[in-house]
Amino acid sequence: MSHTVTLLVWAWLMASSFIVSGLIVGYASPIATSTFRFFLACLIMFCVLVVRWRKKGLKVSDQFKALFVCRSRVFHYVIISGALVGFFIGLFAALQSTTPLNTSVIYTLVPLIGVFIARVWLHEISPWLRILGFVIGSCGAILVLFSTQAVGDFAWHSGDLIFIGACVLLALHVVSVQKWGRSLEALSGAFMMMLFGCIWLLPIALFWGDLEQVQWQTSGFWYYGLYLTVFTTLFTFVLQQRLVVAVGASRLLAFSYTIPVWVALFVSVANARVFSLFNWGFLAGLLCLCVALFLIDRKQSE
C-alpha cells in the first residue's frame, strides 16, 4: 500500500510539471527552463549530500570521488541522463510541428514501450493479464484525454514521429534506471542523473536555449522555476530512483496512466469547472484506468 501511495504522489507531481511548465513558457524557452531546473536541482542535491556526508563523519572529497571511481557506473548514468534529456529535446522539437493533444495521446504508449524494452533487454516476461492491463490503461488514458479535448483537433502531424522517438527514449530511461540504478542509493543516483543531465543540456542551451530572452528579473519565472526544480525535479528523481528499484520500471510507468486524470483535475479546479468532468468519456476512462492498475498490480504468480 505504501508503494501505491508513493506511486500516486509521483504521478501527481509529474502531472503538476505539465501544468507549471505551460505557465513558465512566457518567461523562458523550454530548453532554458529545463537547463535551469537541472542546474539548480543538481546544486541543491549536492548540498544535501555534503550535509549528509558530514553528519556521518565522512570526508566530502572522498565520497564525491567515490561516485566516479567506477567507469562503467559513470557510463551508465551518462546513458540514463542522456535518454531523459533526449526525451525533453524530442518533446520540444515535436511541439514545433504537432499539438499538445497529439503528444498527450502518444505519451500513453510509453508504458507499453517500456514493457517491450524490459522484455527484450531485461528478459522480463509479463503475464498476458498484465499486458492486457497496459493496453486497457492506454485506452483509458486516451478516453480521459479526449473527454477534455476537442476530438476533431486530433490529426497526424510530422512532429508525431519525432515524439514517438522521444517516448522510446523516456521508456529506455526508466528501464535503464531499473537495470543500473541499484549501484547507488536514491540521493546519490538522483545527483548523478542531474549532473550528467546538466552536461548534456549545457551546449544545447547555449546554442538553442534563447538564454538572452530569459526573464530573470520577474517573480513569475522564479516562482514557477523553483516549483519545477524542487517538486518536479528533485522529488520526482528521488522517488523514481526508489520506486524503480522497489517495484520495477513497468509498474512505475503504469501509474503514468493517471497523469491525464490529475491534469484534468488541475485544470477543472483552476477554472471552477469540476462538474464538467462528469461525462461518459472521463468516467469510462477512469474505470479503464482502475481495471488496468488492478491487472498490472497483480502478483506475477497470480
Q: What is the pLDDT of residues 220-236, one digit of tens each?
A: 999 999 999 999 999 99
CA distance 158 to 143: 23
Q: Is 162 left (phi over 0), alpha (psi -120 to 50) or beta?
A: alpha
Residue 126 confidence (pLDDT): 79
| pLDDT class of 154 with cuts at 50, 70, 90 | low
Query: Does position 301 have pLDDT exceeding 60, yes or no?
Result: no
pLDDT grade, residue 151 (50/70/90)? low
Decide which of 262 and 276 is more confident.
Answer: 262
| Average pLDDT estimate for 28-40 | 94
Separation of first and last alpha carbons in the chain: 18
3-state class (DSSP) for residue 101: helix
Which of 69-83, 145-159, 273-287: highest mean pLDDT? Answer: 69-83
Mean pLDDT of 2-27: 88
Q: What does the mean pLDDT of the chain come to?
A: 89
Report the alpha-carbon angle 16-267-251, nearest 5: 45
